[in-house]
Chains A and B, each alone.
Chain A
Amino acid sequence: MVHTFTCLGVYVAVDVNSGAVHVLDKVAWDVLRLQEKPMEDHCPAELSASLPEYSREELESAWAELLELQRQELLFVEDNYLDPQAAVLMQQDAPIKALCLHVSHDCNLRCRYCFASTGDFGTGHRLTMNVETAKRAIDFVIERSQNRRNIEVDFFGGEPLMAMDTVKETVAYAREQEKLHNKHFRFTITTNGVLLNDENIAYINDVMSNAVLSLDGRPEINDAMRPTVNGKGSYEVILPKFKKLVEGRGTKDYYLRGTFTRHNKDFAADVMHIADQGFANVSVEPVVGSPEEDWSLREEDLPEILAEYEKLAAELLKREDVNFFHFNVDLSQGPCVIKRLRGCGAGCEYVAITPEGDIYPCHQFVGNEAYKLGNLYEGTFDMTLARRFADLNIYTREDCKNCWARFYCSGGCSASNLLVNGDIRKPNRYGCDMQRKRLECAIAMQAIRAGLADSIEA
């Protein structure tokens, strides 16, 4: 399978199965986009009729070069990574290697789009995870991680800084246990920043390998969707705290992470606003929500959003200092193909645990009883449900099988699929369109940065 596209004025071909990416001139691109199957040795006569704007000599010259790539197994490579039967079995009984630990089901912001219903996940009970539950969660993941050494724990919520004592005791316990079980824990935290102070900033910068800091962008955009409990804006409170945290971050990872909604489809301005505050690593993602919400993205918004991604890509080309998460595609050194076809691992490699000790496939499923996997105190874990998630990969999700982006996106988000289509297996089409556009932007940016596009244009 070959995907041809243009973005930022660059003509690109992605050979989906080999991972090869080519920058073409217009004639080669026009020839290639008409080819639906591997090319024959000789340039077909009818090509002149299909592309009358080119001379026969030009078409034959482009054909010869494309054919050479095909011979080098850089075009029209078959996907023979896995047979479909093996794909179904691939993640069955896979080790659990990552936890989203909901240390707090309480929050000091009232974000309008919050999938956690402003912290309590729609339960009406605002809770903090006690240390006993957190320790059980660590024991659970150690036991379930089988022979995997690296284990990740993301402190999440609600707002995890409202449960700092639990966070610290969990880290101390995991550090003690990792020595006994030959494991290596990595901790991350996702925070709204309201409770950051000198002490917990120092702690986070010492202990957390990644800190995800929530900010939506421009003050008016952030404050409209992320008010405090008493309805005031949060921007002025959190920005100086995030700056302080990032100043002390050293070489450890961090992301300023925002959400865009129907109310800020000009989100490139929000990405650039965050970057202009001195933050190098930025992730601004499309909101996920029920279609009836006023802020939810709709099908009619898509052309505007896709154009905005390309506008953002053009702006970021001028800003080498900014790393936008979704344009950061590592073509040559990224994850192996096995990881790429597996999907996110929710429900099998990755689970979320609530203050009550309930286990869910991921943070976005918390509170959805139909998807509860088990409970730490009851010692339960529903393998039948976990296997439904383990079955999901790019070969078993019908719509992914023939998508050119399958090895970059790996099958999308099950929670988003459920919310939009009522089925974890059925990809959210608008999400897919945005994902494909982000990938096209990322690849075109790399071509330009590598000097390939300019040299051909010239």
Chain B
Amino acid sequence: MTHIKTLNGATLKQSASYGGCGECQTSCQSACKTSCTVANQKCEKKAEKKAH
């Protein structure tokens, strides 16, 4: 492609297949006590995978 470069694929779509375990951190527990953000939170399953 000459006009377009893809920075990120359809990862959100893929995550629907394994997501929803609910073991992840609650977003306001990190560093946003007044402005909720979730996109920078870690996935607990992926963190576990990395550790093993």
Contact = CB atoms under 8 A, between A and B. Distances in A.
DSSP majority for the A interface? mixed
Contacts of A333: 11, 43, 46
Given A188-B29, A331-B8, A334-B39, A27 B3 contact: yes
Given A73-B10, A212-B31, A212-B33, A97 B5 contact: no
Contacts of A257: 31, 33
Interface in A411-458: 411-413, 416, 431, 434-435, 438-439, 443, 446-447, 450, 452, 455-456
Contacts of B30: 188, 210, 212, 253, 255, 325
A82 to B, nearest CB: 9
A227 interface: no
A353 interface: no
Contacts of B39: 329-330, 334-335, 340, 407-410, 439
A287 interface: yes
A328 B34 contact: no
Interface residues of A, number: 92
Contact of B12 (A328, A337, A346, A452): A337
B33 A338 contact: no
A350 B6 contact: no
A338 B32 contact: no
A119 to B, nearest CB: 15
B11 A19 contact: yes
Contacts of B43: 333-336, 339
A18 interface: yes
Interface in B26-52: 26-44, 46
A148 B29 CA distance: 17
B10 A338 contact: no
DSSP majority for the B interface? loop
Interface of A: 15, 17-25, 27-28, 61-62, 65-66, 68-69, 73-74, 77, 81, 94-95, 97-98, 100, 115, 148-150, 152, 154, 186, 188, 190, 210, 212, 253, 255, 257, 259, 281, 283, 285-288, 325-326, 328-340, 343-346, 349-350, 362-364, 407-413, 416, 431, 434-435, 438-439, 443, 446-447, 450, 452, 455-456
Contact of A435 (B10, B12, B37): B37
Contact of A336 (B7, B15, B26, B28): B15
A338 B37 contact: no
Contacts of B13: 17-19, 73, 77, 337
B34 to A, nearest CB: 5
27 contacts: A18-B10, A20-B6, A21-B7, A22-B5, A24-B4, A25-B4, A69-B4, A100-B28, A150-B44, A286-B34, A287-B34, A288-B34, A328-B40, A329-B39, A330-B42, A335-B15, A335-B24, A335-B43, A336-B15, A336-B18, A337-B12, A339-B20, A340-B38, A407-B12, A408-B38, A413-B35, A455-B5
B1 A65 contact: yes
Q: List 6 A-B pairs, minimum CB-CB distance, nearest first.
A: A336-B19, A19-B12, A338-B20, A255-B31, A28-B3, A18-B10
B38 A325 contact: no
Contacts of B3: 24-25, 27-28, 61-62, 65-66
Contacts of B4: 22-25, 28, 65-66, 69
B44 A446 contact: no
Contacts of A447: 7
A62 B3 CA distance: 6
Contacts of B44: 150
A21 B4 CA distance: 10
Contacts of A328: 40
B29 A65 contact: no
A69 B10 CA distance: 11
A431 B50 CA distance: 35
Contacts of B1: 65, 68
A446 B2 CA distance: 20
A170 B2 CA distance: 59
B35 A339 contact: no
Contacts of B18: 336
A279 to B, nearest CB: 12
Nearest to A96: B26
A98 B6 contact: no
B26 A344 contact: yes
Contacts of A148: 22-23
A39 B16 CA distance: 25
